[in-house]
Amino acid sequence: MDLLWLRVATFLYATAAVAVFPAVFFGKDRWRRICIHLGGMAWFFHFISLIEMMIAAHHWMPVGAREVESLLGFLFASLFFVVWRFYEAISLGIFALPLTFFLVFVPALGRSGFTFPSSGVRVGWLIVHILALLLAYAALMLSLFSSLLYLVQENRLKSKFKPGHEHRWVSLDWLPPLDTLERVALVTLEFGFPCMSIGLLIGSVLAQETPLGASYFLDAKVIASFLSWGVYVLLLFVRRIAGLRGRRAAYVSGGVLVVMLAVWAANFFSHVHRFGLQ
């Protein structure tokens, strides 16, 4: 029964992780209540699962990667709810709840891991995994490009260039207004975030058929990918909550792009991301 309760908790963590973003980014009280209620239920079922798992295994300390991941996810969720109880810092949930979900997702697949019904199905999901991450990287690059154009247009307007009278080898009259460039930069970021989340989720399943199994978090590319996901969330957070715009937003977007390039470089040290060998 511990696996059943863990799967229920995983589903509830997933819905709470989705609800926390409109609660934080848009200040929706309804989504805030949904997030806390679903997260609390997930924590309860997770606690029951851990107790039953330890009793069935006749030990009170985690043994094996799956038990460690489940306990670590439980501790993350517990710490989040303690902080929320005393400080009502729901914004921490955009990191804690998705991280908890990713930690318990693999143990919830079962003790024997997950096996695709056929190689064709696995290849199909692999294609979706790669495309989702490529879309995320493309969206981030487009956001950065829009931010760079923002800097050019801002400098152009401050210099009081008249349309058609710029002393350059090419006219920049085609540049959109600053507000349009700012909105494009933010919308592309928001589009890329679910793509990256879906890509990581599918990748977590695909990794179960590798020798790493539940220990896939130890892989260099996986660690770098989750770190880049956290940086992506941080960028969205500072743009939405802190109101980061314009020049500073362009600099931050450039820094995030460097992180993404480092993630791709980590592919050379990965044991589960040799795409060309699959």
Per-residue model confidence as pLDDT tens digits over 162-178: 555 555 555 666 677 87
Instruction: Give pLDDT, residue 137.
Output: 83
Instruction: Give pLDDT, residue 31.
Output: 93
**Highest averaged pLDDT of the listed ranges 10-14, 66-70, 224-228, 250-254:** 10-14
Instruction: Give pLDDT, residue 245.
Output: 66
Residue in 109, 99, 97, 96 with CA at minimum distance from that of residue 7: 109
Instruction: Give pLDDT, residue 277.
Output: 41
Provide mean pLDDT across the span 183-194: 86
The Cα–Cα gap between 278 and 92 comes to 38
Instruction: Give pLDDT, residue 120.
Output: 82
List all residues 6 or more positions away from 9 whose beta carbon is below 8 Å from its beta carbon: 42, 43, 44, 45, 46, 49, 104, 108
pTM of the model: 0.75
Q: Binning pLDDT at 50, 70 and 90, where does residue 14 land?
A: very high
227 vs 100 pLDDT, higher one: 100
Residue in 219, 225, 210 with CA at minimum distance from that of residue 264: 225
Q: Binning pLDDT at 50, 70 and 90, where does residue 218 land?
A: low
Average per-residue pLDDT in the chain?
Answer: 79
Runs of H (alpha helix) within the chain: 2-25, 29-57, 65-87, 93-108, 119-158, 178-206, 220-240, 246-265
